[in-house]
Every structure is written in structure tokens, then in C-alpha cells.
């Protein structure tokens, strides 16, 4: 392929859809394109190239990725458009055939492919359509970019080997590939020197980190991070509850930089439904898990997700889930309706649950969760806490930020009634009021920080 020389500063716009892991991929794409001299713009109409970083996890997300791409195609007929991300990784050949109006396609098993297709299109060359190269390990996982001021996602592994029966991720992102502890430590050190103070460790299942090298190494990773100097938060997102790495609690008790925020996707509480999902737990076991975490570290905050409408889920199974919800009193909870995904083991399962029933069950859980989360937030009023400032609210004398019990993008925020703060810094605050799932605060005089 003849490479046309690259003019200065081609501009590109990236439309990021999907989960936190897609966010990290988007940041890596931004790094790769910036290193190639391309400039990112925040409005599509200013761009020469538009990249849609799609999601292919469930039906709803797939539809959103396609409608977004076609909407941008229609709105910007003269611009180059690439459909990248999970949807393309999963349906590469089909999409190329069916979406001829899109200029380029690139999956996410090797993000360099997005760079290559982008540069080819910007040069006016036709991106090669030959078999894509697959890479693994560290070289494809990088995120030199910030997610929020002072905060970064650190992807410690790619892919998943748990093969839950309803999940398409192992077929999109492949088997588990863990980074080395050394490369993660170095990345945290480098970013902390750049002023980052919150590190959100992400993978499909943090608890399995290192298992592709023989045995889980999440405890070793925590121990290695704990040796680092500095004032920062470490947040662990997505630990599979069936193999919770208990020794991490000992490290967290000694080193409070490991904030007691646990994202444990339980998915269900009925033993038979969990079994059909390819999971080993039960409501009783998960209650013991949450109880033990909370007794060992009383300030612990637990987020989870439930999946309702799974084939074979009876009214009795659902009542078990409701009972578990009332007993576990999870601080934050997201609920999803089962989405039948071809290629997954559950796709073949009979006794499907009607969409209406699945929706009603999701709405019932969401309704019951509101007072649980509100009571949890009410209990924060009058307490002091450390807040990570995210931004100043334009034209107002207040800022927004997050306490340790609020993860980026998914949990509420803190509105700080103070001026002159810096985004990306920690400030001591006292919570004064709850407003829905958000909190209000003032700066705290004393050093007593919970």
C-alpha cells in the first residue's frame, strides 16, 4: 500500500459508547492518534474523521452503536467514518458487508488497527481489508490519558475466561490476558507524578488477575502498589463474587489508600438461576460475603449489578432475589434485563422469560433500591470526608467532586459550596445535605476525615 505523506494536524472526533473498559480503549486510541500527529476535537463537525467506539455486549447496546453510526453518516456525508470497538470485533465481516456506507472498520483486540485504518483514510488511501493481526499482553493496554481530572482507569487485564453462560465478552475480547505487576506499578507511579490521585483498577474480573499465568495474583498486585509512595486512592472495580480474594482486606486495613469500595456483580441470588448462568454462588453465600467485608472494614461500600429475566427464572427465584436485595442493602445497584446473545451458552436455553416480565422485575428492583441508597447517603450527613474535586460549575461559586464511596460515572456526586478549588485535588469536606443520589458539602475546618 503506497503511504501518502501525512499533512499536519488532521482532526478526528471519537464517539465513545459502552463501558469503562471501552473508555480506556478510547483513551488508548487517543494516545496512539496523538502520537501520530492527529488532533482530537470535541465536536464532530470540526473533524476530518469520526471514530465510533462501539459496544457489542447486549442487543440494546448493539442497536445503539449502529443507529449512532448511521446517524453520523447521514449528518456528515463528506467525512470519513470508522466503526471500531466491540461490535466490530464481534461482527467484523458481517458489518463490512452490510454497512458499505462506512469507510473503515477496526476491532479492539489490537488498538493499533484503529490507528492504521484512521491514518490510511486520512491519507485518502483505502484501508487494507486483509486478515487482522491479533496481539496480546501489555503492549496493547496503555492509558496515558486522564478519565477525569486527577483520576484514571488502569486496565490490568484484557478478556475473560469465566464464560458465564449469558456473556459475550469472552467471545469479543478473548480469554484472560493479564498485564505484568511491574508494568501496572510503573504506570501508576508515572501517572501519580503527573498529578493523578485516583486509580480505578479495571478488568472483566479483577479477582482472576494473573490466573492466566498459573494462579491469581491480585493480592501480590495490591502488595506491590502498597509499596509505592504518595497520597492517592486505589479503587478496585469488578471482583467476581465467587472467588473473592480475602487477603486483600488485610492490605486495605493497613493501607487506607485502598479505598473500601467493592464492585461485586452478584447478578442473582437464586442458586438454580446462578448455576444456569455458569456461576457457583447463592444468596446465602453472598450475604455472608457482604457481611464479612462489612465486619472486617465497617466503612465498606458495596456496588453490584443484578440480571433479571434469565431463562428459567421463576417467580420464586425472583422473590429470592428481592429478599436478598432487602437483606444485603447494597449501597449502589444497577439492574439489567437478560439479553439473548447468539454464540453464548444461554442462547440455547428454553423457558424464556417474557420481555414484559423482565422489564417489570427490573423496575421492581430499581424502585426498591431507591430508599436503600437514600438511607445510606442520609447517614453521610454531618460526616467529614475527603472529596476529589472534578470541576468548577461554570458561573457558580461551587464545584463538583466525589467521595471514596462514589465511583466515576456510575454513582452520585458531591456539590461543594466553595470557590477557588482546583480540579484533581483532594479537599476535606463536611456533608450537609442529600439531594436525590447526590450530596452537598462545605469545606471542613478540622482534619477528622472519614
Minimum CB separation from ligand SF4 for residue 167, in Å?
3
Minimum CB separation from ligand SF4 for residue 344, in Å?
9
Q: Distance between CA atoms of 63 and 359, rounded to whole angstroms?
A: 18
Among 30, 119, 160, 431, the residue binding ligand SF4 under the rule CB under 6 A is: 160
Cβ distance to ligand SF4 smaller for residue 141 or 169: 169
Q: Distance between CA atoms of 387 and 401, rounded to whole angstroms?
A: 6
Contact (Cβ atoms closer than 8 angstroms) between residue 172 and residue 92: no
Among 38, 102, 169, 225, the residue binding ligand SF4 under the rule CB under 6 A is: 169
Structural Rg of the chain based on CA atoms: 23
Minimum CB separation from ligand SF4 for residue 168, in Å?
8
**Is the alpha carbon torsion for 137, 140, 144, 146 positive or negative?**
negative
Among 187, 205, 242, 317, the residue binding ligand SF4 under the rule CB under 6 A is: 205
Q: State the number of CA atoms in the 13 A half-sphere of 275 facing the CB.
A: 5
How many chain residues touch ligand SF4 (CB under 6 A)?
10
Minimum CB separation from ligand SF4 for residue 205, in Å?
5
Q: Under the criterion CB under 6 A, does residue 164 sit at the interface with ligand SF4? A: yes
The 3-state DSSP class for residue 27 equals helix
Name which of 436, 383, 447 is nearest 413 in CA terms.
436
Name which of 375, 426, 422, 423 is nearest 404 in CA terms.
426
Cβ distance to ligand SF4 smaller for residue 79 or 240: 240
Cβ distance to ligand SF4 smaller for residue 30 or 160: 160
Q: Under the criterion CB under 6 A, does residue 204 sit at the interface with ligand SF4? A: yes
Q: Which stretch binds ligand SF4 (CB under 6 A): 48-56, 165-173, 184-192, 422-430?
A: 165-173
Applying the rule CB under 6 A, the residues between 239 and 278 that interact with ligand SF4 are: 240
**Is the alpha carbon torsion for 217, 218, 222, 228 positive or negative?**
positive
Q: Which stretch binds ligand SF4 (CB under 6 A): 158-166, 218-226, 309-317, 398-406?
A: 158-166
Minimum CB separation from ligand SF4 for residue 208, in Å?
8
Cβ distance to ligand SF4 smaller for residue 164 or 259: 164
Cβ distance to ligand SF4 smaller for residue 19 or 423: 19
Beta strands 399-402 and 39-40 are unpaired
133 by Cβ neighbours in 10 Å (0-12 / 13-18 / 19+) ranks as exposed
Cβ distance to ligand SF4 smaller for residue 52 or 160: 160
Q: State the number of CA atoms in the 13 A half-sphere of 69 facing the CB.
A: 29
- Residues in the site for ligand SF4, rule: CB under 6 A? 160, 162-164, 167, 169-170, 204-205, 240
Amino acid at each position: 500500500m503506497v503511504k501518502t505523506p501525512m499533512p499536519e494536524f488532521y482532526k478526528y472526533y471519537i464517539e465513545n459508547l459502552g463501558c469503562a473498559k471501552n473508555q480506556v480503549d478510547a483513551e488508548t486510541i487517543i494516545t496512539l492518534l496523538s502520537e501520530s500527529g492527529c488532533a482530537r476535537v470535541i465536536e464532530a463537525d470540526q473533524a476530518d474523521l469520526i471514530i465510533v467506539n462501539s459496544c457489542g455486549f447486549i442487543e440494546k447496546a448493539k442497536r445503539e452503536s449502529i443507529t449512532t453510526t448511521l446517524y453520523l453518516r447521514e449528518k456528515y456525508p463528506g467525512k470519513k467514518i470508522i466503526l471500531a470497538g466491540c461490535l466490530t470485533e464481534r461482527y467484523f465481516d458481517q458489518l463490512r458487508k452490510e454497512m458499505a456506507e462506512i469507510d473503515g472498520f477496526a476491532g479492539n483486540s489490537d488498538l493499533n488497527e484503529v490507528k492504521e485504518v484512521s491514518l490510511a483514510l486520512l491519507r485518502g488511501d483505502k484501508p487494507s481489508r486483509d486478515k487482522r493481526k491479533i496481539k496480546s499482553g501489555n503492549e496493547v493496554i496503555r492509558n496515558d490519558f486522564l478519565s477525569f481530572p486527577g483520576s484514571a482507569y488502569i486496565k490490568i487485564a484484557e478478556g475473560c475466561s469465566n464464560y458465564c453462560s449469558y456473556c459475550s465478552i469472552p467471545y469479543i475480547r478473548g480469554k484472560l490476558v493479564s498485564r505484568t505487576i511491574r508494568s501496572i506499578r510503573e504506570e501508576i507511579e508515572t501517572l501519580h507524578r503527573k498529578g493523578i490521585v485516583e486509580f480505578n483498577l479495571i478488568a472483566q474480573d479483577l479477582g482472576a488477575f494473573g490466573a492466566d499465568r498459573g494462579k491469581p495474583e491480585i493480592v501480590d498486585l495490591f502488595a506491590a502498589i502498597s509499596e509505592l509512595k504518595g497520597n492517592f486512592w486505589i479503587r478496585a472495580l469488578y471482583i467476581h463474587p465467587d472467588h473473592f480474594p480475602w487477603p486483600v482486606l488485610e492490605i486495605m486495613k493497613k493501607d487506607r489508600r485502598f479505598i473500601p469500595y467493592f464492585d461485586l456483580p452478584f447478578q442473582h441470588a437464586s442458586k438454580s438461576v446462578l448455576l444456569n448462568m455458569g456461576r457457583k454462588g447463592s444468596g446465602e453465600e453472598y450475604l455472608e460475603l457482604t457481611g464479612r467485608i462489612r465486619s472486617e472494614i465497617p466503612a465498606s461500600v458495596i456496588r453490584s449489578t443484578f440480571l433479571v429475566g434469565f431463562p428459567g427464572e421463576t417467580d420464586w427465584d425472583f422473590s429470592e432475589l428481592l429478599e436478598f436485595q432487602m437483606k444485603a442493602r447494597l449501597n449502589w445497584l444497577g439492574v439489567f434485563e437478560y439479553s439473548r446473545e447468539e454464540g453464548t451458552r444461554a442462547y440455547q436455553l428454553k423457558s424464556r422469560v417474557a420481555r414484559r416480565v423482565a422489564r417489570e422485575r427490573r423496575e421492581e428492583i430499581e424502585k426498591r433500591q431507591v430508599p436503600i441508597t437514600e438511607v445510606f447517603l442520609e447517614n453521610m450527613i454531618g460526616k467529614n470526608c475527603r472529596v476529589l474535586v472534578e470541576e468548577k460549575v461554570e458561573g457558580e461559586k461551587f464545584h463538583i467532586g466525589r467521595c471514596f464511596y462514589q465511583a466515576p460515572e456510575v454513582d452520585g456526586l458531591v456539590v461543594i459550596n466553595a470557590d477557588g478549588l482546583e480540579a484533581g485535588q483532594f479537599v476535606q469536606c463536611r456533608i450537609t445535605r442529600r439531594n436525590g443520589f447526590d450530596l452537598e458539602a462545605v469545606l471542613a475546618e478540622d482534619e477528622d476525615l472519614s
